[in-house]
A and B are shown apart, each in its own frame.
Chain A
Amino acid sequence: MSSFSVTEPTQRTKWVSGTLVIVYALVTMLPLAWIMLTGFKSPADAISYPPKVIFDPTLEGYVNLFTTRTRQTDAFLAANPPETWYEEIVREYDMVIAGPSKFGERFLNSVIIGFGSTFLSIVLGTLAAYAFSRFKIPLADDLLFFILSTRMMPPIAVAIPIFLMYRQLGLSDTHLGMILLYTAVNISLAVWLLKGFIDEIPREYEEAALIDGYTRFQAFYKVVLPQAATGIASTAIFCLIFAWNEYAFAVLLTSGTAQTAPPFIPTIIGVGGLDWPAVAAGATIFLLPVMFFTILLRKHLLRGITFGAVRK
């Protein structure tokens, strides 16, 4: 480029920014890559020192993650030859598969609780945000501040009261209890983010719909919601990421029926020794839904982050 331009980046700027992005991506992605690799290692490779980057991949970690195994006598093993590829993997340690592990259930719990609370946060958040954005509500500013104030201390600070309350109400270790809890934490974020988005949607659209013969709710549903889709999507990602990754309350309040994956995965370590590949396999599978959800909505997310920066 011969002439100076304010808007076009120079070649050097492109180089510098490109390099920075790549370095940053490497730093953040390295641990993830390491976990994913470890999931395909044998337990011996996983703990070898110096760490192995090149190794014989095996699905042992995944088999161990999804199954429970028992040690058997040689006579029993000889009498029952392995029938499937995963039986064969287990036989190397003179074991047989006794049944499925609890990982499937716990993962499903995570899906139910994570998506359930996200859905609830979005529904309640959108309605509340719409009301705050469009109607004259007495003490609206105080209410909004009150909603925000629920996030001013770490949620875990109220862990003990919540624990006692949940025990009294019979909400401990239930899906409903966890959905309500995560919704309560996420709702303030949802209301504030969505209010910002809805504020940006001109009122004229709804007014046009009202004039065109629709009720307030129809106008909201048919005109405002499609406009707010971007905001809803990015808010949903933030809510899901929180609910999906939450560990402390899950450890405290769930142990069986409603236990989510985060507290479950570390328990693998206690069962069959330090089975790092199984833990890594669990972590990898656990990452996938949020990853896909985020990739699916990433355009909205980017727009969500930069929303309102430039007036259209």
Chain B
Amino acid sequence: MAQIIIKNVRKEFGDFTAVKESSFTIEDGEFFMLLGPSGCGKTTTLRMIAGLELPTSGEIYLDGEEISQKPPSQRDIAFVFQMFALYPHMNVRKNLSYPLVSQGMARRDVRAKVDEVAGILGIRDILNRPVGGLSGGDRQRVALGRAIVRDPKAFMMDEPLGALDAEFREHMSEELRALHDRMGATTVYVTHDQLEAMQMGDKIVVMNNAVVEQFGTPQDIYDTPATMFVADFIGSPSMNFLDFSGSLAPGAGTVDLGGQHHAVPTQREGASGDLVFGVRPEHVKLSDTGAYRGEVLATEYLGTTQIITLDTPNGELKARTDSAQIATVGETVGLSFEGPKITLFDKASGQALRSELNEKVLAHG
């Protein structure tokens, strides 16, 4: 098992830059998520770690060794493909044996190891079946088996649950996380599903347009997004952005929004011009006393909570409240925000402004 360090890695395909200088560190034994919309460069990054693509520039360290230009067979990394890529002309046992056979392992040892792994994954009874007729879940297990059978230094997983139906994904993601906890193997996992990333990951890298937007624990990324993209991408419904313009001095603790003063975490940097007031839906409170007012446009009942869509002087806003809260469409209600949880952004650059809340996270992120 190993630590993986990505240092200034860049990948170009002709004129197209898939990944711009990216750096982050994956600690030994971490379940690490590469998250982003499609085409953001996350899969390319994964493939560069595995050796299926060679970076145009930059370094990749696996266990202290620089491997960026080595062929995949010399990296000792396993890869689980989205479409599983089980060898269709072989049965399950042969699929599992294949990585061991390439190492020249004795036939008896191969058999023993395959049986052991099949036991862990609960696929012993299908070992002699052709892979063609297997269910999605069993294919997934065989693909995982093929990855863990040779005890590699790290696992790469490219949306491994993407090909499964929704019901089964839930189950498989638990199984996968349990397997990871049991083996303690460094795992890099690519997904475009922010919920999956939050649920399963120890750390998350959020990528967009070939750039690493933020890198940190799920909590840090959710609570203190570094950019508007991250704030928008993570969370459902996503963070509300209320546009306002004004100027802030370092040390300011309130902003002027719609003629009202709203508390924000003490700012560490000044800014002026077009700014954005970022507030998560659960940090919006409906209160009759609030001077800042909005009109209820719609309500969505979700069981224990509800999503209320409001029209405010600074744009549309969604609030997540207790479903007992009464809101009638067309009614105008007062709003208040949980000041310490607010993030302010510079509208032009999309970057979060440093404050008491996020200065620690942004310092290393």
Chain A interface residues (CB < 8 Å from chain B): 202, 204-205, 207-215, 218, 223, 226-227
Which one of A211, A214, A226 contacts B77 once the chains associate, using CB atoms below 8 Å?
Answer: A211
7 A-B contacts, Cβ less than 8 Å apart? A204-B83, A210-B51, A210-B72, A211-B79, A212-B150, A215-B73, A227-B89
| Nearest Cβ on chain A to B131's Cβ, whole angstroms | 11
Cβ contact within 8 Å between A207 and B73: no
- A209–B89 Cα distance when bound, in Å, is 13
User: Contacts A212-B146, A213-B102 hold; do A205 and B87 have CB atoms under 8 A apart?
Assistant: yes
A201, closest chain B residue (CB): B88
| Nearest Cβ on chain B to A213's Cβ, whole angstroms | 4
Cβ contact within 8 Å between A208 and B81: yes
Cβ-based interface call for B85 (8 A): yes
B65-102 to A contact mask, C-beta < 8 Å, 1/0:
00000011100011101010111110000000011001
The 5 residue pairs across chains A and B that have the minimum distance between CB atoms: A204-B85, A213-B102, A212-B99, A208-B85, A226-B89
- A209–B83 Cα distance when bound, in Å, is 14
User: Contacts A202-B83, A202-B85 hold; do A207 and B146 have CB atoms under 8 A apart?
Assistant: no
| Nearest Cβ on chain B to A199's Cβ, whole angstroms | 16
Cβ-based interface call for B349 (8 A): no
Cβ contact within 8 Å between B52 and A210: yes
User: Contacts A204-B81, A207-B79 hold; do A212 and B88 have CB atoms under 8 A apart?
Assistant: no
- A213–B73 Cα distance when bound, in Å, is 4
Q: A207-B72, A218-B102 are in contact. List 13 more A-B contacts (CB 8 A).
A: A204-B83, A207-B79, A207-B81, A208-B79, A208-B85, A210-B73, A211-B72, A211-B79, A211-B99, A212-B73, A215-B71, A223-B87, A227-B88
Cβ-based interface call for B272 (8 A): no
A229, closest chain B residue (CB): B89
**A-side contacts of B289, CB under 8 Å:** none
**A-side contacts of B236, CB under 8 Å:** none
Cβ-based interface call for B103 (8 A): yes
What is the total number of residues of chain B having a CB less than 8 Å from a CB of chain A?
Answer: 22
B89, closest chain A residue (CB): A226
B33-66 interface with A by 8 A CB criterion: 50-52
A215, closest chain B residue (CB): B73
Chain B interface residues (CB < 8 Å from chain A): 50-52, 71-73, 77-79, 81, 83, 85-89, 98-99, 102-103, 146, 150
- A212–B80 Cα distance when bound, in Å, is 11
Most A CB contacts (10 A, CB to CB) among B85, B102, B146, B150 go to B85
Cβ contact within 8 Å between A208 and B73: no
A211, closest chain B residue (CB): B79
**B-side contacts of A215, CB under 8 Å:** 71, 73
By secondary structure, the B interface counts as loop
- A210–B103 Cα distance when bound, in Å, is 12
| Nearest Cβ on chain A to B189's Cβ, whole angstroms | 16
A208, closest chain B residue (CB): B85
Cβ contact within 8 Å between A207 and B102: no
- A226–B71 Cα distance when bound, in Å, is 24
- A263–B51 Cα distance when bound, in Å, is 56
Which one of A207, A213, A214, A226 contacts B85 once the chains associate, using CB atoms below 8 Å?
Answer: A207
Which one of B51, B52, B89, B102 contacts A212 once the chains associate, using CB atoms below 8 Å?
Answer: B102
- A68–B136 Cα distance when bound, in Å, is 68
**A-side contacts of B73, CB under 8 Å:** 210-215
- A204–B86 Cα distance when bound, in Å, is 9
User: Contacts A204-B81, A207-B79 hold; do A213 and B99 have CB atoms under 8 A apart?
Assistant: yes
| Nearest Cβ on chain B to A207's Cβ, whole angstroms | 5
- A126–B99 Cα distance when bound, in Å, is 26
Most A CB contacts (10 A, CB to CB) among B73, B79, B86, B146 go to B73
| Nearest Cβ on chain A to B239's Cβ, whole angstroms | 36
Which one of B52, B86, B103 contacts A207 once the chains associate, using CB atoms below 8 Å?
Answer: B52
User: Contacts A210-B52, A211-B72 hold; do A205 and B99 have CB atoms under 8 A apart?
Assistant: no
**B-side contacts of A227, CB under 8 Å:** 88-89
**A-side contacts of B72, CB under 8 Å:** 207, 210-211
